[in-house]
Amino acid sequence: MPPVTSTLIWILVVLVAFGLYLSWTAGRLDRLHTRIDAARAALDAQLLRRASVAQELATAGVLDPAASIVLYEAAHAARQAEEEQREVSESELSQALRAVFAEPQQMEAVREAPGGEAATHELTEAVRRVPMARRFHNDAVGAARRLREHRKVRWFRLAGHAPFPMAFEMDDEPPVALADRAA
């Protein structure tokens, strides 16, 4: 074979290998974006569950009127929040839960009411699952962001038109009375 032909073959092999590598990277990025979407859906479900349980508890009549109003308004605001205000309203619900259940006596009053043990268990589970779902989402976002920062991804526009992933930052510290119960 003439030297020009073998050189062209090697160039073609290198280009095909590089194309396969870019294709693999684009597929990986697509899988990460899919994982982000699934994690966000799970996070949204857990946040909705927490707000629903809090709202249900606020209207059950087992809390004192002031605590019921605070909890109901925070839960309602969290359920009705627009996407731009979601993190703030969910943080406010966390703060309302901590304020209402700061005293162990409040938790005992709920537990002693009819159906209170089930309601406490459901609230404890909802409050426990929110930080886990948020952590899974933010881990997926971090992995996608690290990959999108590579030059090859930017130069060859492997992310396509997908929006840059954003982490969900909120105050998700559970009330002391519920945290002790979940542990």
| Whole-number pLDDT of residue 148 | 95
Instruction: Tell which residue, 122, 120, 114, has the closest CA to residue 50.
Output: 122
Q: In Å, how far from its chain's centre is CA 147?
A: 20
Show Cβ contacts of residue 111 under 8 Å, excluding neighbours closer than 6 positions.
117, 120
Those residues of the chain that have pLDDT short of 50 are: none
pLDDT digits (tens, 9 = 90+) for 2-32: 778 899 999 999 999 999 999 999 999 999 9
The pTM (predicted TM-score) of the whole model is 0.89
Q: How far apart are CA 130 and CA 94, in angstroms?
A: 10
Show Cβ contacts of residue 71 under 8 Å, excluding neighbours closer than 6 positions.
54, 55, 57, 58, 63, 96, 97, 100
Q: What are residue 50's phi and psi, to 5 degrees? A: -60, -45
Based on the number of CB atoms within 10 Å of its own CB, is 9 exposed (0-12), middle (13-18) or buried (19 or more)? exposed
Q: How far apart are CA 41 and CA 167, in angstroms?
A: 13
| Whole-number pLDDT of residue 40 | 98
Q: Which two tokens stand for residue 112?
A: 């002693």
List the end-to-end C-alpha distance of the chain, in Å, as a whole number: 73
Q: Which two tokens stand for residue 137?
A: 């989402």
